[in-house]
Structure 1
Amino acid sequence: MIVIHSLSGGGAERVAVDLAAYWVERGFRVSLVTQADAQSDVYEVDARVKRIVMGTAGESGGAFAGALANLQRVWRLRRLIRREKPSLVLGMMTTSSVLAVMAAQGLPCRVIATEHTHPPAQTMAPMWQRLRRWAYPKAARVVALTSGTAAWIEQHVPGSRLTVIPNAVRWPMPVEEPVVEPPARYGRRRLLAVGRLHESKGFDLLIEAFAQLAGYFPNWDLVILGEGDCREPLQAQIEVAGLEQRISMPGRVGNVGQWYVESDLYVLSSRVEGLSNTLLESMASGLAPVAFDCETGPREIVRHGIDGVLVNPPEDVEALAAHLSDMMSNEEKRRSCARRAVDVLDRFSTARVMALWEEVFRAR
């Protein structure tokens, strides 16, 4: 049983769907439980996976109401565990992991908790932080995406039995709706970024860096794929810079693989990351990446100077602009890094990653 808040978009949500499909294909009985209803789904669930909606999503409002709402979530999830009788319950992200541990207390199933975001970068109520310190040592295993996150949990949540399992690179990349064709380039170069339009992704820093370079590289354009709450301020920033003809934000696309193939360089400007799916996908597609060396994530994927560039210090616009300039001006360097970037297909293959999950499943 996989438990997650919703399937409304995001890396953890996509991983939940991929894990469910992989395990059901191999003969496991798999259920996928969400608090939100299916109308908010972005990702399609394999028809063989039993989809269960608890209907407990929404704002709780106030400490007392929040406590009651969480008790209801625990009670409903416990009823589901008793009814479905899974041998293993996988909580996806912090709150779902905590709820799963609470709901499964005393029942004959093992609970695996997972962290998909580096905890210091999360905004989390003190109550959930306390509950995490209580719950994780009771889980059969706590899975972190990166060694940096595992080190943080080891220090701040003592007693957790930790394992590091990265995301597998999704390959070949599926084509989903909406399909948005990349515009013809007519000899122009394309710098590509992909992610939720959120402050954590640092697209404001990227736009500022590109604005510094635009005059020196008149045949390069920047495309930012994704959707989110920061669309309006980012669009305003583009207009203030006078770059409406050079920077575009087409929104979320279901054929992102085609955009990777039809671009010349990938950039990850995140202030914080777990393990970036888009970074893996772009490299698997043969794009050289330039990425901020934020506290966790990119350094566990990019081999600096071999298959891409790690920018230090993180969040430094001038440093980002300098490294982008170097890669944009040097086609041979881009090609050299791109040739090695595709090694992620082996380094983060489904076979390797699922073998790590098998070890966790079988461990006692």
Structure 2
Amino acid sequence: MKVLILGYELPPIGGGTGQALLRLVEEWKRFPETEIEVWTARPPKGFSRDLPEGVIVREFRCLKKRIHFWRGIEQFILLWRCWRETLGDSPPPDVVLVWGGWPLGLLLLGRIGRFPSVVALRGSDVPGFNARTSGGIWRMLAGKVWERASAVTANSPALAALAMRTAPDLQIEIIPNGVNFHPPLPSEEETPERENWPTDRPIRILSVNRLIRRKRVEMLIQAVAQLPREWRDRVEVRIIGEGPEEHRLRVAVRELALQNQVEFLGEVPSSEMSNHYQGSDFFVLASSAEGLSNALLEAMAFGLPCFHATPTGFEEIDDVTVQFRSAQSLSKKLLHHLEHSRRAFLRGQACREVAQKQTWRRAAERYDALLRRTEERC
């Protein structure tokens, strides 16, 4: 089976959408009967791309300037160059996988829409998820793309429910993300039930995301500022990621006099992320909209008590994590777990048990089966 993947983001470009596609492709190379070709954006100058062997990647120049932010002109150029490529005489694919329905999903409205296709909804491609793509015209275009596709998937029930506000009759298959890191399970001797927090280092709260408005990292900063001083002085917030909101967030840290409590680490290579998860005590994701966050699953896999603002729709995940709606509620829930370290430890262990079931191998198998069914049916 020859699969053409239209993926506008692939590392180093983008965040979770690109990382998820990379993990999926890495698993697919172990499927000898599946041949993969990926069309994606060329990284800006100064950035390289490490890809698995045996995967064909076509990079299209689109004047990309920033790896974590898309301008409208960049999306248009990428769409136009990919559309021109569809007019050529290259061997046709057996099936098309659109990884993120916007912008490359629009290609299904043209010549490439003749082939069997699956649209994988990832988050920002769903109207209502991102303010930039939530107006009437976006809903109309999204509806037409989804209608043209042979099948549609989403990475969480919550994202599927959001998509159905645009297309109420849409049939959506839920295929969750896997976990990028599966640390070995420690023995009981290595993980004694924690009665007290460490005294030789701060209590670390980790945040991993693009620094954009939708991620609402300022909510975490405000929550820490509201902690009682005896706990606030013991806490250290580590923020991993880059983006246009960084300056505003740094200003907020200064205004709240939290320079000693908040550290911006910038972009961190995937190879170093396990050290940050292992060295942390809590994980917080304050995003106003999320599909199924890769970082959330990774933090769960490392046994961190996880706090997030948006339910995933997966009952098993939402039952072991902590949800909050405001900086005040986050501060209260953090304080409760700070004051009850053993309860925090047990919650982290429950998160680990749930995350251990999520693998990219399983996700790849489900996508492979869906693509084969789609090819046979069409």
Give TM-score, length-normalised by structure 1. Answer: 0.84
Note closer, same or farther for the CA distance 1:126–1:78 as it changes in structure 2 (3 Å cut): farther
Are the counterparts in 2 of residues 273 and 297 from structure 1 also a CA contact under 8 Å? yes
Determine whether 1:5 maps to 2:22.
no
Q: Which runs of 4+ in 1 moved over 6 A?
A: none
Q: What residue is the counterpart of 2:42 in the other structure?
A: 36
1:251 equivalenced with 2:266 (yes/no): yes
Amino acid at match of 2:97: L
Q: Which has the higher contact order (CA 8 A, sep 6+)?
A: 2
2:238 is the counterpart of 1:230: no
In structure 2, the CA distance between the partners of 1:299 and 1:98, relative to structure 1 (3 Å rule), is same
Quick one: distance in 2 between partners of 1:298 and 1:215? 35
Deviation at 1:358, TM superposition (A): 3.1
Match of 2:322 in 1: 309
Could you list the per-position Cα deviations for residues 281-314 of structure 1 after superposition, in whole angstroms to 9, with x for gaps in the alignment?
001011111222x2x527656343xx33222xx2
Distance 2:75 2:122 in 1: 23
Q: Secondary structure at the match of 1:348?
A: coil
Q: Which residue of 1 aligns with 2:330?
A: 320
Aligned partner of 1:356: which letter? R
Distance 1:350 1:37, change over 3 A: closer
Give the one of 91, 95, 104 matched to 2:98: 91
Unaligned runs of 5+ in 1: 174-183
Change (3 A) 1:220 1:37: closer
Q: List runs of 5+ in structure 2 lacking aligned partners.
A: 65-70, 184-197
Residues 234-260 of structure 1: per-residue CA shift (max 9 Å, x gap): 001101111111111111111111111
Contact 2:204/2:280 (<8 A) preserved: yes
> Distance in 2 between the 1:240 and 1:92 partners?
41
Per-residue CA distance 1:246-279 (angstroms, 9 max, x = gap): 1111111111111110111111111211111111
SS of 1:342's partner is helix
Q: Does 1:14 align with 2:28?
A: no
SS of the aligned residue for 1:302 comes to helix
CA 1:41/1:89 → structure 2, altered by over 3 Å: closer, same or farther?
farther
Alignment of 1:50-199 (within 5 A): 50-56=56-62, 72-73=80-81, 75-79=83-87, 82-105=89-112, 107=114, 109-117=115-123, 118-122=126-130, 123-124=132-133, 126-158=136-168, 160-172=170-182, 186-199=200-213
**Structure 2 Cα separation of the partners of residues 172 and 200 of structure 1:** 28
Change (3 A) 1:301 1:48: farther
Deviation at 1:56, TM superposition (A): 4.0
Question: Contact conserved, 1:20 with 1:32, CA < 8 A, in 2?
Answer: no
Q: AA paired with 2:291?
A: G
TM-score where L is the length of structure 2? 0.81
In structure 2, the residue matched to 1:176 is: none
Cα distance in 2, alignment partners of residues 146 and 43 from structure 1: 28
